[in-house]
Structure 1
């Protein structure tokens, strides 16, 4: 069983995907570096949670 992500993580990730749809893929490290380059999230664990959720969302959208 996995951990449940907070609603705020999901909201931020979805907004970033809408704003930069072509910048994200299913590679965690690339997504993490891009989020870091935006300079909007300074906290490393939060940045990693958002990048992880973005990876799972991109995978879901590719399947559909």
Structure 2
């Protein structure tokens, strides 16, 4: 089940909550009992490959990778 981060506008605390994706936008009271909360934008970092190895480093090319800058 996905975990979502929330921030309470009343007391400023942040907290996580596990809930189904279908309930991601439903109200989430903070642990202190306040109802004025907002869901925070979360980022996901994916590393490695499907086989558990590491991805190769990026190769040259493009403006900054190909040496055309500077």
Larger radius of gyration, structure 1 or 2? 2
TM exceeding 0.5: no
Structure with the higher fraction of residues in strand conformation:
2
Q: With structure 2 as the length reference, what TM-score do the two structures score?
A: 0.27
Higher relative contact order (CA 8 A, sep 6+): 1
